[in-house]
Copies of this chain bind each other. A is one copy, B any other.
Amino acid sequence: MKPSYNVDVDVLRESPTRAVNRVVERLKREGKDVIMLSTGEPGIPPPLEVRLWLSEALKEDSMRLYSYTPSPGFLSLREAIVDDLKELGGVDVSVDQVVVATGGQATMFSTLATILSPGDEVILMDPTYFGYWNLLSYFKAEPKPIVASLDKGFQPGVEAIKESIVKGKTRAIIMVSPDNPTGRLLDFDVARSLAEIAVDYGLWIVYDEPYKTLIYEGEHVYMYNLAPENTISLNAFSKDPGIPGWRLGYIYGPAWVMKKIALASEAITYNPPSVAQHLVTVYLRNRELRRRHIEYAKRIYMERRDVMVEEVSKIEGAKYVKPGGAMFLMVDMKEVLEPLKVDCTLLAERLLREKLVALLPGEFFGKSTKTFIRLSFPTETPERIREGIRRLGELLEEMGKESLGKKESSLFEASL
């Protein structure tokens, strides 16, 4: 007899980046070279100094690098994070408010597992990081999307948020800043209003800030400073110092809830990966190196962003807001694609298959961005970014001719 399973897991969906990556893998195996404008992945590895430290440590014939660690992470790493937060944003937390976790996804999972009950309503932006839609379904919470539109610079509408709160049902507001997929930095005034709302209504602000050190213009708002009793902050070392595959992140918030989140974190992975913890401790403890690496990464990514913006600005009808942080340019292609009778998903598919350029269609991030594409700029060199956008323009031109061809043909048919 075939055993059965829990149908609740059927709400889980594969990440769209992963679906794209599988096609990319196939193309690569066929010897094809794909320009990757689809992933939120840093283009530069961690600083050589910390890599060399680890390279030496691996030669030691001891268990130091390999042992289990405390489930909320090494005390030394948590202390380094406390100091880092203090220096970066004047954030004042103690070690028992910091839980190191197994990457950004695990920070989301452990936090939502702890704060959400079935039937809870959760306010989040449309568009937002696709992972949240998935997890809210899994925890049987109801997403309450608020459209953050391009013409308002993707800033959340405070009034709309207030109106969508249902007392006793709304549990949390999820906010990503600098934002994925839009690159928008949360305005300080908006952040202050959100903090007031959270305090007034007893809501959590789940503040997702994995890109907080990648700011090109403007300043990052540390939400915890505005609502310390109501903010749970999610962080990752994926983008800075650049170890996405190694899976390391951390969460901070009120001590009482962090204690519970720590147990949820232990339940899913027992402890965050020790090797990543060692590497990041060395990185954070070397303050000068850390400052230098952030500046270096920002300089490189900003140059890539500027090249991308310059190239995209040549596509007539493409609308965007220059991103102040993070890794993405969110482009509204409505005016470009409507005359072609093509949607963004088809565009992305054809671009990958015919022109070997990967990007993500906007529909993965929300209903309001169905006519958008998300381009990421930190992975590829400026030259390859130029080439990628050039190929996008080329495909659009070809599509224009096809649609002209289609029209002529249908005119011809009509004249028969």
Instruction: Return chain B residues, CB-CB under 8 Å to A41.
Output: 63, 67-68
- Contact check, B45 vs A54: say whether CB atoms are below 8 A apart: no
The interface centre, meaning the residue of A51, A201, A204 with most chain B CB atoms within 10 A of its CB, is A51
Determine how many copies of this chain the complex contains.
2
- Contact check, B246 vs A275: say whether CB atoms are below 8 A apart: yes
- Contact check, B1 vs A267: say whether CB atoms are below 8 A apart: no
Instruction: Return chain B residues, CB-CB under 8 Å to A243.
Output: 66
Instruction: Return chain B residues, CB-CB under 8 Å to A244.
Output: 66-68
Instruction: Return chain B residues, CB-CB under 8 Å to A114.
Output: 5-6, 9
Instruction: Return chain B residues, CB-CB under 8 Å to A201.
Output: 1
A233 interface residue per 8 A CB criterion: no
Cross-interface CB contact of A266 among B18, B52, B200, B260, cutoff 8 Å: B18
> What is the CA–CA distance of A6 and B10 in the complex, to the nearest angstrom?
22
Contacts known (A1-B200, A204-B3); A18 close to B102, Cβ less than 8 A: no
A151 interface residue per 8 A CB criterion: no
A410 interface residue per 8 A CB criterion: no
> What is the CA–CA distance of A113 and B109 in the complex, to the nearest angstrom?
13
> What is the CA–CA distance of A45 and B67 in the complex, to the nearest angstrom?
9
A159 interface residue per 8 A CB criterion: no
Could you tell me the distance in whole angstroms from the C-beta of A174 to the nearest C-beta in chain B? Answer: 13
> What is the CA–CA distance of A229 and B1 in the complex, to the nearest angstrom?
9
Cross-interface CB contact of A260 among B5, B55, B61, B257, cutoff 8 Å: B5
A312 interface residue per 8 A CB criterion: no
Instruction: Return chain B residues, CB-CB under 8 Å to A341.
Output: none
Instruction: Return chain B residues, CB-CB under 8 Å to A105.
Output: 266-270
- Contact check, B257 vs A5: say whether CB atoms are below 8 A apart: yes
- Contact check, B45 vs A52: say whether CB atoms are below 8 A apart: no
Instruction: Return chain B residues, CB-CB under 8 Å to A71.
Output: 14-15, 18
5 inter-chain pairs at a CB distance below 8 angstroms, sorted by A residue, are: A18-B71, A41-B63, A63-B242, A105-B267, A269-B269
* 4 further A-B pairs in the complex, CB-CB below 8 A; given A3-B202, A12-B266, A68-B245: A42-B63, A45-B60, A52-B59, A67-B244
